[in-house]
Amino acid sequence: MTTADYTFANDSSESQLSIAEACSVGAIPFVSDIYLTRLSSAPFECQ
């Protein structure tokens, strides 16, 4: 399962919370802006 959340910046506290919540339920996190113009060079990983 993958989750998708849209935030202002990948390094924001909202993005970190989104990643943590996705990981807590075993999902693969995905965070970008609503227009998908900001894609990370590497996938987010659960710690």
Total tally of structural domains belonging to the chain: 1
Q: Which domain holds residue 18?
A: 1-47
How confident is the model at residue 40, as a pLDDT? 80
Q: Which helix (H) or strand (E) holds 21?
A: helix 13-24
Kindly indicate the confidence band of residue 8, based on its pLDDT and cuts at 50, 70 and 90. confident
Which long-range CB contacts under 8 A does 23-27 form with residues at least 24 apart?
23/47, 25/1, 26/1, 27/1, 27/2, 27/3
- How many helices and strands, by DSSP H and E, does the chain display? 1, 2
Segment 16-32, tens digit of pLDDT: 999 999 999 999 999 99
How confident is the model at residue 11, as a pLDDT? 83
Round the average pLDDT of the chain to a whole number and report it: 89
Q: What is the largest CA-CA distance in the chain?
A: 27
Which residues on neighbouring strands pair with residue 28, listed in sequence order?
2
Tell me which of 47 and 25 has the higher pLDDT. Answer: 25
